Structure formats: C-alpha cells, structure tokens
Amino acid sequence: MANSPSAKKRATQSENRRQRNASRRSMMRTYLKAVVNAIAGNDKTAAEKAYKTAVPVLDSSAQGGLISKNKAARHKSRLNALIKAM
C-alpha cells in the first residue's frame, strides 16, 4: 500500500485513469459491434451509417492513447472493406 503522499496520489490517479479508460474502451467496442451487427444483417445503409459514427470514436481513442493509431486504422480498413463487399 502507498505510504508517501505522492504514492497515494499516484494510486488515486491510476485508479481514475483505469476507470476512465475502461469506460472509453467499452464505448469504442459498442460502436464497433454496431457496425459488425449491421454488416451481419446485410443492411448496407445501416452499416454505412454506423461506420460513420464509429470512425470518430476510433480516431479519438487513438488520439487519446487508448489504442494505437495502427489499430484504429486496421479496424477502419477492415470494416470499410466488409461494407464495400456487401
């Protein structure tokens, strides 16, 4: 357990960041699942609409350091390829 004041502060900050990151990661996954479900349902217009709402979420997650830029690009590329193949 943290004994010094600075260690206690760092423990508190780490916990706050962990909770914030968990929330943002969950939100990101929800938006991705909406796109995947629309693709699975063969609804191209819904998939395109869900994709357009998911892209800014992915970009902000990458910008904020939640995921890497390459991971965001990989998700966008694969989802876009699936939509175009419909």
**Domain boundary assignment for the chain:** 5-84
Q: pTM for this one?
A: 0.86
Q: Decide if domain 5-84 falls under CATH 1.20.58.110.
A: yes
Q: Does residue 43 sit in helix, strand or coil?
A: coil
pLDDT, position 3: 87
Residues of the chain with pLDDT under 70: none
pLDDT, position 2: 77
pLDDT, position 39: 96
Q: Which two tokens stand for residue 26?
A: 């969950």
CA distance 49 to 6: 47
pLDDT, position 1: 74
Residue 39, Cβ density class (10 Å: 0-12 exposed, 13-18 middle, ≥19 buried): buried
Is residue 26 within 8 Å of 32, Cβ to Cβ? no
